[in-house]
Chains A and B, each alone.
Chain A
C-alpha cells in the first residue's frame, strides 16, 4: 500500500531558529513529491515540487531535499518567522495506474513558531 509518513507530528521552535521536517514514502513507481503549507482554516498551498532527478530545491527560506533511493525527503526552514506557523504536508504521486489513488498525502507536521 502506498504510504507517506511524516515526522515529527508537531514541533515548536523559537522565532529565528531553523528546523527540518521529514517525509518518508513507499509510493511506487514514484513520479514526484511536493511539500504544501496549510495555514489554519485554509486549504493547502504548494511550496515546492521535487521530481525523480532532483536532489535539492529552494523557495526562499524553504529548502526541500529528496533521496529517491531511500525514499526520503526533508523540508528545511531557515530563520523561521511567526508566519511559518502552519501544517506542512508531504504529497507523493505515482505514475497513474489502475487502482491507485493518484495523490498520497502525509498527515502533516504542525509547526508552531513562538516569539
Chain B
C-alpha cells in the first residue's frame, strides 16, 4: 500500500493563478482532510470530508474549494491564488469504527506551495 500520496510535491504560482492539489489514499478510509501548516501556527484544518460526495469547512476554508467525487481522492483547489496561501499543505485520512472516531490520521508527505 502506498498510504496517502500528494501531488505535486512543490509548486510556485503567480498571484491570481489557479491550481488543484490531489490527494489519493489506498486504505479505504472514510475521512479525508486538508491542512495547511505555517511557521508557529501548527496544522490548521482547511476542509474535510466524511465520505464520498460530502465535504465540510474547517478552520480556514476561505479561498479554497474541495471535492470528493471518489472515496480514494480528495482534491483541494485554489481558484485565484494569493501570497497569503503560501504554505505547506498536508492531506490526511482516517477511519471510523463503531461509534468511536479513531484519531490515527495518516498523512501525505506534503506539498510546498509558494505564491509570488
Contacts and interface: CB of A to CB of B under 8 A. Distances in A.
Contact of B108 (A43, A92, A105): A43
Interface bin, chain B: 20 to 34
A103 B4 CA distance: 17
Most chain B beta-carbon contacts within 10 A, residue among A42, A89, A92, A102: A102
A34 B42 CA distance: 16
A103 B110 contact: no
Nearest to B45: A101
Contacts of B96: 96
Contacts of B45: 101, 103, 105
A16 B8 CA distance: 39
B67 interface: no
Contact of B103 (A42, A93, A108): A93
Nearest to B96: A96
Interface in B12-63: 31, 33, 35, 40-45, 48, 50, 58-59
Contacts of B50: 96, 102
B100 A42 contact: no
B109 interface: yes
A101 B100 contact: no
B97 to A, nearest CB: 11
A93 B19 CA distance: 31
Interface of A: 9, 31-34, 41-46, 49, 89, 91-96, 101-103, 105-108
The 10 closest A-B pairs by CB, nearest first: A43-B107, A107-B42, A93-B103, A34-B103, A93-B101, A105-B43, A96-B101, A46-B104, A31-B101, A108-B42
Given A9-B40, A105-B45, 12 more contacts: A42-B109, A43-B90, A43-B108, A43-B109, A44-B105, A44-B107, A96-B96, A101-B48, A102-B101, A103-B101, A103-B103, A106-B42
